[in-house]
Amino acid sequence: MHRVTNRKWWKEGVVYQIYPRSFQDSTGNGIGDLRGIVERLDYIKSLGIDIIWLNPVYASPNDDNGYDIADYRGIMPEFGTMEDFDLLLAGIRERGLKLVMDLVVNHSSDEHNWFLESRKSRNSAYRDYYHWWPAEKGTPPKRWSYFDVEGDAWNYDERTDAYYLHSFSEKQPDLKWENPKVRKEVYDIMKFWFDKGVDGFRMDVISFISKDTDYPELPSEYEGDFVSFYSNGPKLHEYLHEMHTEVLDRYDVMTVGEAPGIGLDKALDFVDEDRKELNMFFHFDLMALDREEKEVFLMRKDKWKLSEFKKIHSDWDAAFAQKGWGSMFLNNHDFPRSVSRWGDDSEANWHHSATMLQTFLLTMRGTPYFYYGEEIGMTNIEFDRISEYRDINTLNRYQTLKREGGDLEAFLLNEKDASRDNARTPMQWDGSKNAGFSKQRPWLRVNGNHTNGINVASQENDPNSVLNHFRKMVHIRKQHLGLIYGSYRLLQQNNEDIYAYTRTLDRERYLVILGFTDKKSTIVLGEIEFDRADLLISNDGHRAHTGGNVFELMPYQACVYVLR
């Protein structure tokens, strides 16, 4: 009998994230769409995953690729119609899969009707849906904005002689959660989608929703760190709890918050079951590992260390050892491709490092999130010229730097590793022109390596491909409850070549050994006892267990054993 009591589908499921603009174009306009996803549902099912997370598909002027929503109940015409959405949802259900949508409610688009009304007059019924600062009070206290060319989160609006707040671009005004009408609107939107049959939400920058509406000067403890300030709003948990009571409690759905600025010390405030807020959230500790301190877009000069990587994951595992539940991801639409970032995408090491990283995510506790293309080892594109980029983040930071007379060459070099567009290039279905993504020129250039084995068609029938390793590994996780719920124990924290750990559930015990180096490496696991180590899976034919407690790995080799 297993001791696992609080079993949940969203703990046992594997998530597959789809960036709709880049997945499959069915109309031939170079932009992915909903019918394109419908065409690929059998493929998605064949991966063995359980839950699809769809980035925003709502009506939007696309200042930030759908993260600026003009109609929360409407579908973006480029992506299709509500009929297409219903078709997609039905196809997902038919295959026994679940669908999680993006909920973007820290801000709307400035083209949302609420904002159009709000900015018309100070007396508008919608005035208080957004954060306004009347100009007669002087310049508002400094707030920093992610995508503003001047880095200023307050935008002056002549019509009513006032400033509005936008933590992201000036076309993404922040909604005022302090207004109960706004909260009611959000809850109604959520119910609308749940009543349609959607299974949950990934909540965009949910940690930012609560603001001190006295708009004080930035308190000194937050100097240089707006993100922590933004994520520490006074009523954040009151709102999340209210959302739970008003909406979430009534449905069997999953929630995962995107939570920049939230560290280990606050983790359980979000996901302790007794608090009735969220199921999971994404922290940013790993995403910050190879970046300059507090500069999430700047690559750090020295290389990250494996011991640091292990510490992040071990600490977060410990945070949820008794309560709550974690979420595991190595990349998404905001960060570069995992194999290029945490592995090695050179020809020699691409296959092994991609499959090693898959093995890692699928043997850790916490729900694993994969990003489209990760299953075939898609890599960073590394654009050379600014004209190739489409992302507002890269484009606007380039503008800022240009104005300031900064080093544009250094900037472009940094973006080769850091840019979000690295992860947004079209899905590589085959080796043909445009990689089977579209008949027309795609909205963002296809990575040339789709002709070189990094595509679904050429990996489909190769039993040793990255794609088929992914399928096998997903299957293995599903077959072994201990890999999902088992307790995690890190072995040899300071080993900079190998990440080794055990997972234990009652009498089930697994040993995971991951080579994080392009050289052969050896580990002697003196601290654990076992009679036999039966190999469950390896990404290399080389027999790593040479006897006793000694394991010798090929570069980037990954092995999972059952210990007896």
Q: What minimum distance in Å lies between the beta carbon of 273 and ligand NOJ?
A: 26
Give Cα separations from 238 to 117, 207, 235, 324, 475 (angstroms): 28, 12, 5, 18, 40
Which 3-state string (H, E, C) describes 146-200?
A: CCCCCCECEEEEHHHCEEEECCCCCCCCEECCCCHHHHHHHHHHHHHHHHHCCCE
* Contacts for 231 with CB less than 8 Å, ≥ 6 apart: 207, 208, 259, 260, 261, 262
C-beta closer to ligand NOJ: residue 165 or 473: 165
Q: What minimum distance in Å lies between the beta carbon of 287 and ligand NOJ?
A: 11
**Number of alpha helices (DSSP H) and beta strands (DSSP E) in the chain:** 18, 23
Q: What minimum distance in Å lies between the beta carbon of 517 and ligand NOJ?
A: 31
C-beta closer to ligand NOJ: residue 203 or 354: 203
67 binds ligand NOJ (CB under 6 A): yes
Give Cα separations from 12 to 46, 194, 315, 364, 526 (angstroms): 17, 21, 21, 12, 32
C-beta closer to ligand NOJ: residue 174 or 345: 174
Q: What minimum distance in Å lies between the beta carbon of 74 and ligand NOJ?
A: 18
* Contacts for 46 with CB less than 8 Å, ≥ 6 apart: 471
Q: What minimum distance in Å lies between the beta carbon of 204 and ligand NOJ?
A: 5
C-beta closer to ligand NOJ: residue 382 or 391: 391
C-beta closer to ligand NOJ: residue 334 or 508: 334
Give Cα separations from 45 to 13, 197, 255, 471, 484 (angstroms): 13, 19, 22, 10, 20
Helices marked H in 405-464: 408-418, 456-460
Task: State which of positions 511-540 bind ligand NOJ (CB under 6 A).
Answer: none
C-beta closer to ligand NOJ: residue 208 or 470: 208
The burial class, CB within 10 Å (0-12 / 13-18 / 19+), for 362 is buried
Q: What minimum distance in Å lies between the beta carbon of 465 and ligand NOJ?
A: 30
63 binds ligand NOJ (CB under 6 A): no
By CB under 6 A, name the one of 15, 205, 362, 500 that touches ligand NOJ. Answer: 205
C-beta closer to ligand NOJ: residue 67 or 398: 67
Q: What is the contact mask toward ligand NOJ in residues 228 to 267, using x (rule: CB under 6 A)?
A: ------------------------------x---------
Q: What minimum distance in Å lies between the beta carbon of 167 and ligand NOJ?
A: 8
Give Cα separations from 322 to 366, 482, 485, 502 (angstroms): 13, 16, 11, 18
Q: How far is Cα 75 from Cα 86, in angstroms, rounded to an integer?
A: 11
The catalytically annotated residue of 258, 344, 391, 421 is 258
**How many residues in total does the chain contain?**
564
* Contacts for 144 with CB less than 8 Å, ≥ 6 apart: 151, 152, 153, 226
Tokens encoding 481: 């409850």
412 binds ligand NOJ (CB under 6 A): no
Q: Which residue in the shown chain puts its C-beta closest to ligand NOJ?
A: 67
148 binds ligand NOJ (CB under 6 A): no
Q: What is the contact mask toward ligand NOJ in residues 291 to 330, using x (rule: CB under 6 A)?
A: ----------------------------------------
Task: State which of positions 76-135 bind ligand NOJ (CB under 6 A).
Answer: 104
Q: What minimum distance in Å lies between the beta carbon of 65 and ligand NOJ?
A: 7
Q: How far is Cα 352 from Cα 456, in angstroms, rounded to an integer?
A: 17
User: Which residue from 268, 393, 292 is spatially nearest to 333, judged by alpha carbons?
Assistant: 393
Are the C-beta atoms of 153 and 167 separated by less than 8 Å?
A: yes
The burial class, CB within 10 Å (0-12 / 13-18 / 19+), for 334 is middle
168 binds ligand NOJ (CB under 6 A): yes
By CB under 6 A, name the one of 178, 204, 345, 540 that touches ligand NOJ. Answer: 204
C-beta closer to ligand NOJ: residue 25 or 204: 204
174 binds ligand NOJ (CB under 6 A): no
Can 258 be counted among the known catalytic residues?
Answer: yes
415 binds ligand NOJ (CB under 6 A): no
334 binds ligand NOJ (CB under 6 A): yes
Number of residues engaging ligand NOJ in binding (CB under 6 A) = 9
The catalytically annotated residue of 50, 204, 344, 374 is 204
C-beta closer to ligand NOJ: residue 363 or 396: 396
372 binds ligand NOJ (CB under 6 A): no
Tokens encoding 62: 């696309």
272 binds ligand NOJ (CB under 6 A): no
Q: How far is Cα 522 from Cα 560, in angstroms, rounded to an integer?
A: 16
Give Cα separations from 455 to 96, 373, 410, 421 (angstroms): 26, 9, 32, 19
Which helix (H) or strand (E) covers residue 509, if one does?
Answer: strand 508-515
Can 347 be counted among the known catalytic residues?
Answer: no
Q: 10 Å Cβ neighbour count for 494?
A: 8
64 binds ligand NOJ (CB under 6 A): yes
344 binds ligand NOJ (CB under 6 A): no
- Active-site residues: which are they? 204, 258
Chain residues binding ligand NOJ by CB under 6 A are 64, 67, 104, 168, 204-205, 258, 333-334
